[in-house]
Amino acid sequence: MASKTILDRPALDGQNAGIADADIQAAAARLAGEDLCSIADLSSGEVRAILKLGREVKSHPARYRRALDAKQMVLMFEKASLRTRLSFETGINTMGGNAIFVDQTNQPLGERESIADVARNVERWVDIIVLRTYAHDTITEMAANSRVPVVNALSDFEHPCQALADFMTLEERFGKVAGLNFTYVGDGNNVCHSLMLTGAQLGANVTVATPRGYSPDFEIVTRAREIAEANGCEIRLLQDPHAAAEGADAIYTDVCVSMGMEHESTKRAPIFRPFQVNETLMAKALPTAVFMHCLPARRNAEVTDAVIDSPQSIVFDQAENRMHAQKALLLLLLNGLANVKAVSC
């Protein structure tokens, strides 16, 4: 998380921050004006605060209708999007703010002019910058040069907003995620990275099963294990999807070919075929287990129709919660709670 100077942060009146919850109050004080480039930028308390506030916003949207009145958000996307774009746009619009979309799919950031120059322009017009990029360095460079908050809405290294919504969905289903056995099957990609870090922050036991050579990044694994040790949980890496699924409360998968890697489709298809989430694999999990996917899904590739359309599937709950979790994040980064009548949650 890039450090902004205190002069660039919105003023926060702790007595009028809207929510009488210790985690949320602490997060509001620390996160106002800050960036979210990685889940590792957040403390465990701040992750809990975002999820608590997400549930509060979801339950009582009318309380937050004017919380971000006149705030301007720019979305600069190098990749196609359905859920990310619409959940951010509807999120800020329903809290009184405005979203401006800049399509960068044909001209990546940094190509026409330097990322630093883009940041120094955009910060003068908007209150927050949301980026969906290929290179993670694009996000960290924008954050380093911007005086307004920068949010990672997906990079080749992490997808923090997705993971926050996913664990909010698990809390809705199970009540709490501490001690939950969470299994990810497939490519050790950006989504996997953020899920490992978020699970560790919340005390979930995270098992990741990938083919040999497709494990998650070593630095992410190391950081997730450090966080997990502090929170009394475990991060396991396996290469057997059926062993990973044994006794799982949740099984999660993603496409095996991410955007920008389409040239590897033919090579990857046979490697990932044994990692398909099907009825046989789901039978290894607990009877109460849920199936999760960040979407879009390649049906009958990484997951079968029988699983994704089953009562165990909560993929559309995850998609809905993108909006609620991101509304909570925007409220914290933009000091929106100062505009909300005090409530307890």
Catalytic residues: 132, 159, 162, 254, 294, 322
- Order of strands, sheet of 181-185, starting from the edge strand that comes earlier in the sequence: 235-238, 205-209, 181-185, 250-253, 290-293
Q: How many CA atoms lie within 13 A of 32 on its CB side?
A: 20
Alpha-carbon distances of 160 from 136, 157, 170, 182, 321, rounded to whole Å: 12, 10, 15, 17, 13
| Tokens read off for 304 | 């079968």
Can you tell me whether residue 95 is helix, strand or coil?
coil
Closest CA to 331 of 102, 139, 97: 97
Closest-CA residue to 293 (of 169, 197, 175, 209): 169
Q: Check if the beta carbon of residue 201 is closer than 8 Å to that of residue 195.
A: no
Number of Cβ within a 10 Å radius of residue 304: 18
β-strand pairing of 181-185 with 150-152: unpaired
Q: How far apart are CA 38 and CA 323, in angstroms?
A: 18
Pairing of strands 290-293, 72-77: unpaired
